[in-house]
Amino acid sequence: MNTQQIALITYKDAGKYTGVSEEENARLHQFLTKKGLQVTLEVWDDPAVDWGKYELVLLKSPWDYFDKIDTFYTWLSKLEELQVRVLNPISIVRWNADKRYLVELQEKGERVVPTLWLEQGSSLDVATVFERLQSDKIIVKPAVSGGAKNTFALTPQEAETQAESINSLLQQESFLAQPFIPEIQTKGEWSFLFFNGEYSHTVLKTAKAGDFRVQHFFGGTIHTPEPPAHLLEAAHNLVDKYAQGCLYARVDGIERAGELVLMELELIEPFLFMATSEGAIERYYDALSAQLQEQRIA
């Protein structure tokens, strides 16, 4: 039996987001406990928790971190001070929390959905954004966000109408603008799941008719086709480059012109779709065991 004290991180559901992760969390907690691990479910921003008693923190589902980003960063710093190991690594979590990373990957030549940065305090120049993105419809969303929070799908006319609201939000935080990707509605969005850098399973998410949001809590549907080899290889390459040392990674992207175009590299609190793939939870456990073994050796 491993006597290391492990915190499996969740959040306090205030009714703003779906509780869909709770079943996966409960199943994972039960599975790891049966394997002999000392695992406790903890709410990440619960002030009563003594984080110093834990040797390892697993960032399973701090789903509301983007609503409390300063508190989240402070909590990560506290874990660093206490020398508590975090999976995924804190440096990668900080990098991944702000979608500026998409601009960084774009500048490195990765195939990313074209992304324009809208700095906090700036104003939305509708004509310039549409011209630079070469699209008749755009998506505007916060740089730190999740669950389609404050996300707009806009035509030029709609953007002009919504500009005042968006500019008000821009005074509070940075946003990014991307072209609307019709493949999301016609082909769906791929999610490739990796544990410890090794491929585990795939789902294909499709939006309900008339919507652009593929999340299952917005009516999207989940499919489990065999992924095309070239798309899986591209996803694996991204994990190899940007998710070193990560217990889990989810690569979200669409197929365009026969290639994978990255939408998101999810390294903080992705739903892992473990119930969709036989053996996925065992693969998660094996990956965690390998991480624990590396820590003991180190």
What pLDDT does residue 186 have? 83
Q: Residue 49's domain is classified under what CATH number?
A: 3.40.50.20
Query: In angstroms, what CA-CA distances link 95 with 24, 85, 91?
Result: 26, 17, 6
What pLDDT does residue 1 have? 43
Closest of 76, 68, 31, 23 to residue 51, by C-alpha: 76
Last residue within a domain, chosen from 179, 201, 225: 179
What pLDDT does residue 171 have? 95
Reading the block at residue 137, the tokens are 């419809």
Under a CB-based contact definition with an 8 Å cutoff, are residues 87 and 116 in contact? no
> Does any domain span residue 35?
yes
What pLDDT does residue 252 have? 97
Domain encompassing residue 21: 5-87
> Does any domain span residue 137?
yes
Angle between helices 156-170 and 126-133 (to 10 degrees): 110
Residues 71, 9 share a domain: yes
What pLDDT does residue 145 have? 81
> Does any domain span residue 198?
yes
What pLDDT does residue 35 have? 97
> Does any domain span residue 22?
yes
What pLDDT does residue 218 have? 47
Under a CB-based contact definition with an 8 Å cutoff, are residues 44 and 62 in contact? yes
> Does any domain span residue 222?
yes
Per-residue pLDDT of the chain (298 residues; tens, 9 = 90+): 457 999 999 999 766 655 567 899 999 999 999 999 999 999 999 999 999 999 999 999 999 999 999 999 999 999 999 999 999 999 999 999 999 999 999 999 999 999 999 999 999 999 999 999 999 999 999 999 876 678 899 999 999 999 999 999 999 999 999 999 888 888 899 999 999 999 999 999 987 554 444 455 445 688 888 999 999 999 999 999 999 999 999 999 999 999 999 999 999 999 999 999 999 999 999 999 999 998 776 5
> Does any domain span residue 291?
no
What pLDDT does residue 272 have? 96
Residues 188, 211 share a domain: yes
Last residue within a domain, chosen from 138, 164, 179: 179
Q: Residue 119's domain is classified under what CATH number?
A: 3.30.1490.20
> Does any domain span residue 252?
yes
> Does any domain span residue 144?
yes
List the strands of the sheet with 175-179, edge to edge: 116-118, 175-179, 138-142, 152-154
Residues 66, 38 share a domain: yes
What pLDDT does residue 20 have? 65
Q: Residue 212's domain is classified under what CATH number?
A: 3.30.470.20
What pLDDT does residue 297 have? 60
If one counts the domains in the chain, the total is 3
Under a CB-based contact definition with an 8 Å cutoff, are residues 260 and 253 in contact? yes
Under a CB-based contact definition with an 8 Å cutoff, are residues 291 and 117 in contact? no
Last residue within a domain, chosen from 160, 179, 198: 179
